[in-house]
Structure 1
């Protein structure tokens, strides 16, 4: 039975990845930060077979302890402060966790692996936010990185540190440059879930409107459940590498609103949506669209959920949750 250690197991990717690995017969371990983590009960409920270990990406000793106990064949580093807007308000903390935390995890894995650095396969969750002020469209693995947020800058550091450890020590370390991926498990602070939750509440008469920022920014949105499959496939390759994971389609916030409101029978949403400059980014990323040709050719990976299906899935889940009083 192979063993895997997942940091960031309480996030949407961590939950989907854990389910995938458990279905494949893995012994799954998760790193969880703090004894009062608000998502601890959710992990216990959804993933009773996962063994949890307390640790922190800024504390190497806790990472080494988790590695010794779990003895993983694969490490998936999904842990990060991942809300982009928050990173401007807390740039130093974002840097420590999302950037330097990658280095701490890589070094812990390297020390744990000892004389055989490639014996533990490592996955780093890189991000399309690294492209920022995009230098070519679509974006691929060779596209120049030009991050436009402290979060993006921290992700670039972690991305290049992963490459450096692969080239310097021979570690089997891969990065997945994942474009936006959503699900009903996405946190309500993210715009897609903010919209799906608001649309459900508006439909049910529980809310009058929703306030958003830039409605014209465009993203390449996929389903998180599809994207964790790509993570696993990367670590099954004989040679570690970096891969863009994306749908190859771009959609605006307005398109997301169109589909979400139409799904509940509302064709004209103008009176339900307000804009506020407070939700505008200091430096906006206007257009992201990925070229996942390499992932398709090398990993045999393709997305299975379309954009309209993703939006409908999220709205339906929030309708059910609101009706149940969650």
Structure 2
């Protein structure tokens, strides 16, 4: 490991500064809210062509600072680190929807791995004691041969997104081991919230249940109802991210509930939240069934529970009910369009 006796630049402000890439996404919102509540100065690194996306932060938009920077520009990122002297960096930048990575594998690789590499190099070049969090994903396990998965489970990614996340994960590990940087990775399983876009199955179902309850649509078309996932609440998972960077030594952690639920469970919970029997409204379309649904990605979060003292606070049922209630309010306010099968 490199000798780190060289002098460091230290942020002398009494307020801790956190830089976040991907701040306008689901996790960026909940992480920003958590850090602001803890008294941090929160700075979002947002590409110039994505400035309008800051409005997605809603009530937090006026509470965070936005630094416009091209995430593919190494010099620009180094300048940002020099100017802002962050206490912590959370690299959440990634495509929002995994299947989209097939359409642009090189772009996915650069956004995920390139951004991680450039940020880590910037921290090293400026000689900061910054603590770095890399958002990894259960997608790096991919074609799993056993369940549940822990930090020792072999990595076998099955798509460009998972491959890019794995590359970024190892890049982070190499910077930690070779240069002595404080760098962590959270291997996060599916985590959801009302802030998910409708192309995610959880939000598709919550929005459809609310739409049907209000009489705006009459059915929901689904694929494999027997597919299983480890679903948790995004607000709980960002707490784990922060806790990782408060530990004495950096490490990597699997973050998930450790419980599998089927899509059928999800549908039943969503419709139960609006007092409807889902069987009268849901249709299965075999063409929507994906070939890889039989693989079971489920977390073994023992290490996080023991070392971080982290456990999920929101149950699966509470999460789905919260999402449906939020969609009811949005539909009634006219801020979202209904989702479902045919208009009634």
Shared fold, TM over 0.5: yes
Structure 1 residue 73: Cα displacement: 0.6
Give the SS at the match of 1:317. Answer: helix
Alpha-carbon distance change, 111 to 209 in structure 1, aligned in 2, over 3 angstroms = farther
Matched, 1:8 2:17: no
Give the SS at the match of 1:152. Answer: helix
Matched, 1:130 2:140: yes
Matched, 1:208 2:218: yes
1:225-259 per-position Cα deviation (integer Å, ceiling 9, x unaligned): 01101000000111000001111101111110111
- Matched residue, 1:293: 302
Q: What is the alpha-carbon distance in structure 2 between the residues aligned to residue 121 and residue 268 of structure 1?
A: 46
Pairs within 5 Å for 1:215-234: 215-234=225-244
- Matched residue, 1:94: 108
CA contact (8 A) 1:148 1:283 kept: no
Matched, 1:33 2:47: yes
**Higher-Rg member (1/2):** 2
Alpha-carbon distance change, 288 to 145 in structure 1, aligned in 2, over 3 angstroms = same
Alpha-carbon distance change, 214 to 193 in structure 1, aligned in 2, over 3 angstroms = same
- Matched residue, 2:162: 152
Give the SS at the match of 1:269. Answer: helix
- Matched residue, 1:53: 67
| Root mean square deviation of aligned Cα | 1.7
- Matched residue, 1:307: 316
Among 64, 67, 81, the alignment partner of 1:67 is 81
Task: Using the TM superposition, name which of 250-259 and 64-73 deviates more.
Answer: 64-73
1:211-232 per-position Cα deviation (integer Å, ceiling 9, x unaligned): 3333322111111001101000
Q: What is the alpha-carbon distance in structure 1 between the residues aligned to residue 259 and residue 158 of structure 2?
A: 21
Matched, 1:186 2:196: yes
Q: What is the alpha-carbon distance in structure 2 between the residues aligned to residue 192 and residue 308 of structure 1?
A: 12
Task: Using the TM superposition, name which of 316-325 and 30-39 deviates more.
Answer: 30-39
Q: What is the alpha-carbon distance in structure 2 between the residues aligned to residue 204 and residue 274 of structure 1?
A: 22
Q: What is the alpha-carbon distance in structure 1 between the residues aligned to residue 279 and residue 21 of structure 2?
A: 39
Where in structure 1 are there 5+ consecutive unaligned residues?
Answer: none
- Matched residue, 2:334: 325
Where in structure 2 are there 5+ consecutive unaligned residues?
Answer: 1-14, 336-344
Task: Using the TM superposition, name which of 280-289 and 233-242 deviates more.
Answer: 280-289
Q: What is the alpha-carbon distance in structure 2 between the residues aligned to residue 44 and residue 321 of structure 1?
A: 14
- Matched residue, 1:177: 187
CA contact (8 A) 1:12 1:224 kept: yes
Alpha-carbon distance change, 301 to 38 in structure 1, aligned in 2, over 3 angstroms = same
Alpha-carbon distance change, 249 to 128 in structure 1, aligned in 2, over 3 angstroms = same
Give the SS at the match of 1:14. Answer: helix
CA contact (8 A) 1:18 1:47 kept: no
Give the SS at the match of 2:330. Answer: helix
Pairs within 5 Å for 1:254-265: 254-265=264-275
Q: What is the alpha-carbon distance in structure 1 between the residues aligned to residue 68 and residue 289 of structure 2?
A: 36
1:293-324 per-position Cα deviation (integer Å, ceiling 9, x unaligned): 11111111110000000110101110111111
